[in-house]
Amino acid sequence: MKIMFNKHRLSPAAPQAPAARILFTDLCAGYPGRPVLHELSGSIPALATTALVGPNGSGKSTLLGVLAGVIDPTSGHLRHESTRPPAFVPQRGAVGDALPLTVRQTVEMGRWGERGLWRRLTRRDLTTVDTALDRLGIRDLAARQLGELSGGQRQRALIAQGLAQESDLLLLDEPTTGLDPEARDRITAVLAELVADGVTIVHATHDLEAARAADACLLLHDGHLTGQGRPEDVLTESAPIRRRQPA
């Protein structure tokens, strides 16, 4: 299945409807011998924050990976209404502690897509990295090893790497889960600033407070899209949003 990128946004179906940054129809995806997503159809509004919500195993991370282009759909259609590739920030646990990387080196990796792996960073690249470090409040940690950081510091470094890519679409997997209130508030504030600056945010989350603060919500259950729209309309008492309990 070919993912389409289009530099022209589609006109909204109605005057009050927001323009879509991503459209998907009958989308299926998974892993060898294990289908996860089953015929999802929906959209991600542009210039807004969208929360992907659902219990463990519902398909949130898989859908995020498909939107990021790191997981190939098995069928269906996926259309990005921009020519710019998305920036993807995985869960911080997915980045190994043993990697001998400083915070600055981690953020500089965000420029590789623009500059290439072996080419020296330009002055503009370095300015972009500095700006990302400053925005997340971690310039003073630039020389520290990534594995030495607290959970909140490490998450801010990974988000700074995403910002350094200068994409208009930022995809994050559980960006505030397990963080202390100060770290959560800092990251939440930065994401709100990015939307105001013209970036579309999509994040998978178990944090219902964060989901209710989003502009839009997609609710997944067992790989099916069971609700989409405003959080107050989707996150109802009957919505299947609790984590699965261990058997």
Tell me the C-alpha distance between 191 and 129, whole Å.
17
Alpha helices (H) in the chain, listed in sequence order: 60-68, 103-108, 112-115, 123-135, 151-164, 181-196, 208-212, 231-234
For residue 133, what is the DSSP state?
H
pTM above 0.85, yes or no: yes
Structural domains of the chain ordered from first start: 1-86+169-247 (3.40.50.300), 96-166 (no CATH)
Confidence of residue 247 (pLDDT cuts 50, 70, 90): very low
Tell me the C-alpha distance between 189 and 186, whole Å.
5
pLDDT tens-digit profile of 21-70? 999 999 999 999 999 999 999 999 999 999 999 999 999 999 999 999 99
Mean per-residue pLDDT, 2-12: 47
CA-to-CA separations, 228 to 40, 104, 145, 236, in angstroms, rounded: 11, 38, 40, 12
Using the predicted structure, report yes or no on whether residue 194 has a pLDDT greater than 80.
yes
Q: Which residue shows structure tokens 């500089």?
A: 108
- Phi, psi torsion values for 13, nearest 5 degrees: -70, -30
Structure tokens at 4: 């389409």
For residue 17, what is the DSSP state?
S
Residue type, 114: E
